[in-house]
């Protein structure tokens, strides 16, 4: 959404306020959309009419005669407004969190450099560049800050900033998955089921598995079905259930409206799985360096690609939005790209 509709009051005069392309438009009647209605007559109806027109593609424009009153707002306020839109929208928890954090960081930076009330055109490229590339942040964090800024405010000045290139991280596969799963099972049964589903069905642990209900599991058809609202990609997801997971789930089935990980009508908290993994990691004697909960998913992806050799099947099983995401993901896995016979000999 590239606009925001609200209402305001100038003295005793009510108006519809439309924020579009960094400018604020005050509209006291519906003439611009062919409607004979004043804000003073029915502000709510007029607001709804403008919202409908905006959804249909109409955009506010300056008139040749008397121009529509516009108020260009500061860059700081633009970030706040757009972040508020994100918080109220259907975005991921992590994106909402990143937007809140970046706005707070910019507020501190802008206060320090007297930029709080400056519009974007008054802020130098150097200030924006130095904000993104603060030494207290790693290259990966700097890249995330820049990406979030670009999501909140679309402007060529932000596109000119080049974040430092981050070094690729190699996700090493787990060498003995059964041994690791057995060790986890002895530690905690909930974590075991979560890890089993992460590896066997390639579901994401903190969201998809934590919120998985028995109504999502069809043991007769051997599939798990998740609607677009329940997964990261925003698309419907259907994954097959391997035999060893079906046996485990069949012995645990309770009621259709309860959660799989928790025999309850309410799920575990957002950080519950993360805390369990941290506790397991502290006491584990077989967990190798660099192995995380997501290593189970990485290992499974590696096995799928090695068995099929198909990037398209990897995309489907990982539920990635497009092949580019899958290719990027694959580059981070420990996959041999050259055979020893490809190397030069003496």
**pLDDT tens across 260-297, in order?**
999 899 999 989 999 999 999 999 999 888 888 988 98
Cα dihedral 114, 116, 118, 120 sign: positive
Same domain, 206 and 327: yes
- What's the farthest any 2 CA atoms get from each other in the chain? 91
51-57: average pLDDT = 85
The pLDDT score that the predictor gives to residue 337 is 47
Give the pTM.
Answer: 0.62
Is there a single domain that holds both residue 68 and residue 87?
Answer: no
Domain count, the chain: 3
Domain assignment present for residue 164? The answer is: no
pLDDT in tens, 106-131: 999 999 999 999 999 999 999 999 99
Is there a domain that residue 110 lies in?
yes
46 Cβ contact partners less than 8 Å away, ≥ 6 residues apart: 16, 27, 29, 30, 35, 37, 38, 39
Shared-domain flag, residues 59 and 30: yes
Together in a domain, 150 and 276: no
pLDDT tens for 188-235 read 999 999 999 999 999 999 889 999 999 999 999 999 998 877 776 667
């Amino acid at each position: 959404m590239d606009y925001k509709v609200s209402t305001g009051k100038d003295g005793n005069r009510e108006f519809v306020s439309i924020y579009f392309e960094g400018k604020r438009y005050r509209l006291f009647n519906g003439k611009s959309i062919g409607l004979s209605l004043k804000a003073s007559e029915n502000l709510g109806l007029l607001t709804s009419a403008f919202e409908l027109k905006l959804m249909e593609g109409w955009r506010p424009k300056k008139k040749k005669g008397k121009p529509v009153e516009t108020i260009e707002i500061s860059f700081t306020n633009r970030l706040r407004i757009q972040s508020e839109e994100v918080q109220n929208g259907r975005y991921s928890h992590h994106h909402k969190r990143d937007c809140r954090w970046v706005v707070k960081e910019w507020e501190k930076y802008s206060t320090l450099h007297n930029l709080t009330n400056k519009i974007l055109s008054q802020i130098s490229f150097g200030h924006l560049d130095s904000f993104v590339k603060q030494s207290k942040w790693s290259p990966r964090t700097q890249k995330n800050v820049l990406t979030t800024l670009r999501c909140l405010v679309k402007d060529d000045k932000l596109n000119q900033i080049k974040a430092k290139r981050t070094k690729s991280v190699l996700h090493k596969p787990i060498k003995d998955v059964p041994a690791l799963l057995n060790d986890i099972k002895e530690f905690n049964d909930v974590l075991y089921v979560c890890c089993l589903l992460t590896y066997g069905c390639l579901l994401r642990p903190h969201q998809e598995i934590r919120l998985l209900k028995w109504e999502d599991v069809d043991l007769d058809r051997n599939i798990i079905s998740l609607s677009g609202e329940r997964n990261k990609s925003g698309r419907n997801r259907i994954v097959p259930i391997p035999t060893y997971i079906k046996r485990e789930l069949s012995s645990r089935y309770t009621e259709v409206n309860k959660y799989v990980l928790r025999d309850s009508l309410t799920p575990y908290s957002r950080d519950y799985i993360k805390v369990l993994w941290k506790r397991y990691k502290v006491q584990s004697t077989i967990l190798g360096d660099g192995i995380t909960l997501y290593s189970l998913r990485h290992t499974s992806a590696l096995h799928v690609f090695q068995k099929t050799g198909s990037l398209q099947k990897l995309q489907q099983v990982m539920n990635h939005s497009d092949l580019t995401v899958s290719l990027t993901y694959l580059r981070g896995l420990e996959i041999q790209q050259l055979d020893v016979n490809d190397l030069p000999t003496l």
